[in-house]
Structure 1
Amino acid sequence: MAVGTSGSPGTTGADGPARSGAAAPPPAGGGRKPVIEARSIDYVPLAERHGKVWHLFPVWFAGDAHLATVATGAIGVGLGGNLVWTAIAVVLGCALGTFFMAFHSTQGPQLGLPQMVQSRPQFGFIGALLVWLVALTTYIGYNAFNQILVGSTLDHLADVPTGASYVGYAVIAIVLAVVGYDIIHKASRWLTYVVLVALALFTVCVIVVHPFTHAQLDLGSFALTPFLIQLFTAAVYQLSWSIYVSDYSRYLPPSVGVRSSFWWTYLGAGVGGAWMMLVGTVAAGLFPGKSLVESVISAGDRALGGFGVALLVITVLPLLTMGALNVYGGSLTLLSSLDSLGRFRLTVARRIGALCVVAVVSTAIAFGASENFVEEFGHFLSVLGTLFTPWTAVNLADFYLVRRGRYSIREIFNPRGIYRRWNWRGLLAYGTGFVVMLPFSVIGDAEGPMARLLGGLDVSMPVGLFVAAGVYLLVCRSLDLSAERLAVAAADAGLEPEGT
């Protein structure tokens, strides 16, 4: 897929000088790689690309296979669905949501940029702030929920004060995120090995013990409402990872290809997400009256005597790298937002400062949150679905169907460039998709009129995808792509050394 191949974007483009602050690369030179990652939202030159495409599997398997995912798989049973139909909904929902998420992952090697800064061609240099603020809220919200889960687990297991858990979690996340991309990938690989063994052992033991009743496995006991709610909740949960994925594939060389990066991401997130959600489904089905932590312990003990605590601990461990992913991605989004508002030079100190801001805000939210985690988590996912579905539709439609991967890296960092400050096409498509989704949405006790007619079912996700993508493709028919591609070639000429 052809892209405006480029280096550091801090040079003069075809339509004016790019912002020098957004372009500052780390110092060039030989020797060992620095311990602390120097790049943030700037482009990763081809000479710095490294890693193998299969590394995307563990980073998204471990990123998805944790206790928060377990909670997502328990929602259908909690609404009255039986175990087998909830399990089917989990698998189908994960397959659907991960499909769109994995397509975002392929953008990283092709563009060499973090995920959210890639929204500027669709929404404009300033207009992209709309989706960035939503993304920043997501990173902080997820991290706060994860801190609450870790705190309740350690309190249950070892009477560790929740406040100490929140602070410790934040410190570990900051340390990993400061070191950056490579350490997050390495930690994810080791965690994947551990979690894979634990999940395989749990699954085999559950099959052998077979603790289920006929009613739990009765395919004739189908309830539409809990089935669809579980399906779309799982899909939205997986879709919400879309704002993360290019952050952890952007150092890969573009030669890894679209198909490979798609499938390694899809399998990692899809298998890790579905498998861990099924742990939640089984735990909630076997022990419906217990809390999330207690039901996981009880399910592990039922499968293999004494395995419950170990299973719980193993589902908590990936939350440590998940914390790093959240503050790392949140810091990139925060820096992208600040870069749109005013000139400043990107430095390691500013990157670390942004990491700390994200971690401190999420920790403050965790301290002030209520204990009704599962219900609030479900509402949070509903809000995310409404906010991110039209962005996903617009971003993917632009990348694969309109511009087909042909972007100028320099112009993405140029406030007076070809992508303009405000792009009415992307904003109109996003706004239309968002408004059309509302009548089909269910958020907490609030039901849209169409959702009410459908018996309280939230089917806003497919509606938003179809409408936002359709509107964007329609309004882009007037876009002069031939002229834009000439401008892209002129702006990015000479950005990579000859022979790179």
Structure 2
Amino acid sequence: MTASTTNDQVGTGTAEEIAGDRVGAIETRGIEPVPDEERHGHASQMFWTWFAANISILGLPLGATLVAFRGLDIWQAILVAVIGSVGSFALVGILSLAGKKGGAPALTLSRAVFGQRGNAGPTLISWLSRVGWETISTTTAAYALLALFQWIFGWHQNTVLTVVSLLVFIGCTLLISGLGHATIMWINKWATVVFGVLNLIVMGFLVATVDWDKVLGVHAGPVSSVVAGVGFIAAGTGIGWANAGADYARYLPRSIPGGRLVTASAFGAGIPLVLLISLGSLLSAGDSTLASASDPVAAINGMLPSWMAVPYLIAAFGGLLMSNHLSTYSAGLTMLTLGLRVRRHWAVTVDVVLMFLGGIYFMLIAKDFYGPFSTFLTLLAVPISAWVGVILVDSARGRGYDAKALMDTSRASRYWYSGGFHLPAVAAWAAAIVMGLLFTEASTSADDVWFAGPWAHTWLGDNGLGWAISMAVGALVYAVFGRRPSLAPEPPEVPGAPAREAAGAGR
């Protein structure tokens, strides 16, 4: 065993501990591939996973934006919601097939494509993406909890209560994410049913507030706006989860048909997203305030009867928690892939501390909620999409995974390539980022432009499609210059002792 491999063995547990993927028990597995004899579960788990991730109220402002700022009518908005959300999560399902095949988290498997050192860039970007999404969810949930405190106890928002609200939500997130995979899968199914029903009740009352005359009086937007709307919804939904799909499929048996995973992912996310985005579009057609609200929780609450406040706020809090614990779990795995040498649950703890600090910034320092939110989405969607383009081509070529080489970060690793970099993949990723950014503008307002590419005000740039260009360029460049990968050895190497000896950091 090499010295570097040994360094990756922080927190190594017994075989019994590693196999202990049980509800209510702390998951002891880190990023090391799951052996075949420890695989379990069904394709339906992906349905519940992505349903849970998308029942939060953040879908409503997305739909409101389609009408208020994109100029679509309700029928166009519904079409955009279907194509953008179902299509983007079908892509998440396709990318999750690598997890079923290789048994490891998405960014750990990415080592085989980019090289042990070359993978650091995509992994860092993915981690930043997860932390950003967590901060958005945490901030929104804290607003919901503050409103709940005010309704029940009459307590008005102040600095202390804001901090308490953040800590309550983060504590709930840490409890679920810290326990790990089995608990998350169980929570996803049953809590989704509870919060899903609550959301349906709330949505029913929101529909009653719709001004149907104004909705039906909205004129259809141009086809170009529909195309741009699809890109906007895809970037705000599935693309944000594209680098996490394999994290939740890695425990599934190899024998599960890939088509079932793709279908389960697409419809699991698509059902709640289409409903929420469509409703947000309906609400905005009658009143555009939701699309620009600095506190979306309060804006939606104001549309409901006063007696609906408590069930609505509970539904909002629970839906955001379902999304956040998934994001936090993936962020912990991504930190371990970056090289943080602690047990997995401690990686999650580090992540929630950063989440708390981000929430403090959004709620007590920053004055604009959706400005930083949209800017964050715009910038990180480009490098993530570039990674997706490269990974899709690599997977289509029949990539196999060597469990031992994935965890061996030494020069002896099969995935060391040239100085730790697989140059065709790294070059394709870099070229795709540059091309995507040429068409991208990131700003919180007309007077606060963070970044603007030279072609940001062409049609593609104005409609926020820099991420799509990035994905296409990454796939094209890697397809031309990347060689077909050789297949990794099949079991017994994956489930056997050598793979366990190369077990990775952070268990």
Judge same fold: TM > 0.5, yes or no. Answer: yes
Amino acid at match of 1:98: F
**Structure 1 unmatched ranges of 5 or more:** 1-11
**2:214·2:285 contact (CA, 8 Å) conserved in 1?**
no
Residues 162-197 of structure 1 show CA distances to partners (whole Å, capped at 9, x for unaligned) of 211111112111111121111111111112212433
Residues 223-248 of structure 1 show CA distances to partners (whole Å, capped at 9, x for unaligned) of 56764553222101221101222111
2:31 paired with 1:41: yes
2:59 paired with 1:51: no
Counterpart for residue 372 of structure 2: 376
Give the drift of 1:293. 1.9
Counterpart for residue 404 of structure 2: 410
Greater shift, 79-88 or 376-385, is seen at: 79-88
Aligned-partner Cα distance in 2 for 1:48–1:324? 23
Give the drift of 1:158. 1.9
Residues 300-344 of structure 1 show CA distances to partners (whole Å, capped at 9, x for unaligned) of 54xxx84465234313302223222222211111111116xxxx5
> 1:429-440 to 2 correspondence within 5 Å?
429-440=428-439
> 1:325-340 to 2 correspondence within 5 Å?
325-338=326-339
Counterpart for residue 70 of structure 1: 60
2:474 paired with 1:460: no
Aligned-partner Cα distance in 2 for 1:90–1:254? 32
Aligned-partner Cα distance in 2 for 1:44–1:433? 32
* Aligned pair partner of 1:450 in 455, 458, 477: 455
> 1:84-163 to 2 correspondence within 5 Å?
84=74, 85-159=76-150, 161-163=161-163
Give the drift of 1:140. 1.2
Change in Cα spacing, 1:375 to 1:74, as seen in structure 2 (3 Å) is farther
Aligned-partner Cα distance in 2 for 1:377–1:77? 19
- State the secondary structure of the residue aligned to 2:482: helix
Give the drift of 1:150. 1.2
Aligned-partner Cα distance in 2 for 1:230–1:375? 18
Aligned-partner Cα distance in 2 for 1:214–1:284? 13
| Cα RMSD for the two superposed structures | 2.8
Change in Cα spacing, 1:224 to 1:251, as seen in structure 2 (3 Å) is same
Amino acid at match of 2:234: A
TM-score (norm 2): 0.83
2:282 paired with 1:286: no
Amino acid at match of 1:329: S
Aligned-partner Cα distance in 2 for 1:255–1:442? 44
Give the drift of 1:438. 1.7
Residues 400-436 of structure 1 show CA distances to partners (whole Å, capped at 9, x for unaligned) of x22x142211111223322211111111111111111
> 1:191-202 to 2 correspondence within 5 Å?
191-201=191-201
Counterpart for residue 216 of structure 1: 215
- State the secondary structure of the residue aligned to 2:177: helix
Aligned-partner Cα distance in 2 for 1:313–1:395? 39
Greater shift, 145-154 or 320-329, is seen at: 320-329
Aligned-partner Cα distance in 1 for 2:12–2:100? 18
Amino acid at match of 1:47: E
**2:247·2:330 contact (CA, 8 Å) conserved in 1?**
yes
Give the drift of 1:204. 5.8
**1:225·1:456 contact (CA, 8 Å) conserved in 2?**
no
**Structure 2 unmatched ranges of 5 or more:** 151-156, 444-448, 498-507
Counterpart for residue 170 of structure 2: 170
Change in Cα spacing, 1:470 to 1:80, as seen in structure 2 (3 Å) is closer
Counterpart for residue 299 of structure 2: 295
**1:76·1:229 contact (CA, 8 Å) conserved in 2?**
no
Q: How many residue pairs were aligned?
A: 463
**2:36·2:494 contact (CA, 8 Å) conserved in 1?**
no
Give the drift of 1:382. 0.9
**2:135·2:355 contact (CA, 8 Å) conserved in 1?**
yes
Aligned-partner Cα distance in 1 for 2:206–2:132? 33
**1:287·1:298 contact (CA, 8 Å) conserved in 2?**
no
> 1:249-288 to 2 correspondence within 5 Å?
249-288=249-288
Aligned-partner Cα distance in 1 for 2:117–2:475? 21
- State the secondary structure of the residue aligned to 1:443: strand
**1:60·1:272 contact (CA, 8 Å) conserved in 2?**
no
**1:77·1:83 contact (CA, 8 Å) conserved in 2?**
yes
- State the secondary structure of the residue aligned to 1:450: coil
Amino acid at match of 1:149: T
TM-score (norm 1): 0.84
> 1:419-430 to 2 correspondence within 5 Å?
419-420=415-416, 421-430=420-429
Greater shift, 265-274 or 35-44, is seen at: 265-274
Residues 146-167 of structure 1 show CA distances to partners (whole Å, capped at 9, x for unaligned) of 1110111222232362211111
Give the drift of 1:128. 0.6
- State the secondary structure of the residue aligned to 1:333: helix
**2:235·2:377 contact (CA, 8 Å) conserved in 1?**
yes
Aligned-partner Cα distance in 2 for 1:155–1:210? 24
